[in-house]
Chains A and B, each alone.
Chain A
């Protein structure tokens, strides 16, 4: 009797164990299939970009060989891109525009958010509701009048037209505000007793405690600005101020299409953001997660 019970118990735990193993194997199976789905276009792009022979890219496109680096492998397509267009200039433009917008934005957006979250002053409630209301206005709804305005003041085809309108951003202010208001007020009180003025409090106390929110805003703004397409498409004519997104679209829309060169260009646009993502991946995930906790 007892032996039998032990036996069934043993069988039960054993079957539970195999069940668990099976479910783990099944999980990995699904995870890997999905990984293939999310990776194949990017792998395809990188592999094709190092195939020197254009005919081979076309021949390989319909089968698994599209993912195999074989044949004439090299960086010819990359050199082609540099030869055919001022790629360095495009890259500089994008880095300069996005870098300036994000860095200046960090300062200005956090400054106003600090005042709104930590200082009581007349007009505070009004500004807070204004910022929250402005968050709803999508950039796409104002691009046309903005185009009219910047055209009047002669800003078309410039860096400032791609930087200045996007520095201050209501959503960034809101993210900073939410974070700052959660810091204990006793910090400010103590500093005030020590004779610190608001700017010193902001500089010495708030900023060092707020690295996570600075990272969040920087990353989200970087993602939005780096991929921005509609606005630069409207305000840049020549190549001098053209960012990568518009440059690659124009290169792509020329016929006949040389796919090796297009993929090399695409790879070079992707590498910077991919590298930044790999370096700061934990921060990326946290930033996106915290962008969802709203309202």
Chain B
């Protein structure tokens, strides 16, 4: 819907101002009341509470002898100096740096592949998408078995294609391999989602552009480089941003496979949040982690809005 349409839509309503107006306002608010109440109690309130208790030493089960105290920025200062937090933050960034470019590229490649007019192409689309509907806990358990240190299928496969030169690796128990192992399975599970988004993007590119390209004698590769890629700009921004945000939420597969180990090598921000808030019951401290996590996501979202706005201003 364009701005003009929205404007006309509004005009129509203003013209229609009638004695029924009051009834309509009442009806509108009765439609909104319950959903707003839910949002207030389960999103807005905990969000505000998160900020408030991140300045206290609140615990999950309060001790009557030790009342909760306001401790100003101490939680945040502790976080900034905590090597656990540094490691978790770095692991998330490491995950973003590897997974986001790789998964975006792979998603585009898959989308181009399944955008061909071939028989059974729908079957392939479904197959590539199927890991997305497979629950992450199950995916993590199955891959845990595939990563089996000695005789696991992945070790055997690597050894087979390298004529026995590679492996066997102790994937999930090796500090330098635990993260890459989790990355591979995350890409395997998630790439189908982005593939579909790219596919929708590809199919919305007008055919005339390619025809014009062909008339000008552009090769397939040139067409891809000068027509497809620029036309997919918004889709790419969306894919990159949403994958980055998902990468910062990384928890389930890590918790099932390594619990953040070995020696914190796969610990992420949300793993730390869970351990501090739930296992150690340090709710105040965990809320500070939650607040920082929110600020990271907020910055990424703002980046997205800036880039998408820029695009609109140009066209």
Q: Residues of A with Cβ closer than 8 Å to B?
A: 24, 27-28, 30-31, 34-35, 37-39, 41-42, 44-45, 61-63, 66, 108-109, 111-112, 114-116, 119-124, 127, 130-131, 134, 136-138, 140-149, 151, 164-168, 170, 173, 178, 181-182, 185, 189, 192, 197-199, 202, 223, 226-227, 229-230, 233-234, 244-245, 248-249, 252-253, 259, 262-263, 266, 269-270, 273-274, 276-278, 281, 284-285, 288-295
Contacts and interface: CB of A to CB of B under 8 A. Distances in A.
Given A147-B283, A227-B136, 19 more contacts: A34-B124, A41-B146, A109-B35, A115-B28, A115-B29, A119-B27, A119-B28, A136-B298, A140-B290, A144-B277, A145-B46, A164-B38, A167-B38, A185-B9, A198-B28, A230-B251, A230-B270, A233-B255, A274-B133
A292 B128 contact: no
Interface in B1-22: 1, 6, 9-10, 12-14, 16, 20
A127 B40 CA distance: 12
Consensus secondary structure, chain B interface: helix
A146 B42 contact: yes
B212 interface: no
> What interface size band does chain B fall in?
35 or more
A115 B200 CA distance: 29
Interface of B: 1, 6, 9-10, 12-14, 16, 20, 23-25, 27-29, 31-32, 34-36, 38-39, 42-47, 49-50, 53, 58, 60-61, 110, 113-114, 116, 118, 124-139, 141-146, 148, 151-153, 155-156, 188, 192-193, 196-197, 199-201, 235, 238-239, 245, 249, 251-252, 255-256, 270, 273-274, 277-278, 283, 286-287, 290-291, 293-294, 297-298, 301, 304-305, 308
28 contacts: A30-B113, A34-B124, A61-B145, A127-B36, A130-B39, A134-B44, A138-B293, A140-B270, A142-B46, A144-B50, A144-B273, A145-B290, A147-B283, A168-B35, A168-B39, A170-B43, A181-B6, A223-B132, A229-B136, A229-B255, A233-B274, A249-B141, A252-B256, A266-B142, A270-B134, A273-B135, A274-B134, A295-B305
B60 A44 contact: no
Contacts of A142: 43, 46-47, 50, 290
Given A62-B152, A226-B135, A229-B255, A288 B277 contact: no
A227 B50 contact: no
Contact of B153 (A35, A62, A108, A148): A62
Listed from nearest, the 6 A-B pairs whose CB atoms lie closest are A292-B197, A289-B200, A115-B31, A168-B38, A62-B151, A145-B49
Contacts, number: 281
A28 B146 CA distance: 27
Nearest to B256: A249
A170 B38 CA distance: 11
A292 B232 CA distance: 12
Nearest to B235: A292
A220 to B, nearest CB: 10
Contacts of B133: 223, 273-274, 276-277, 284
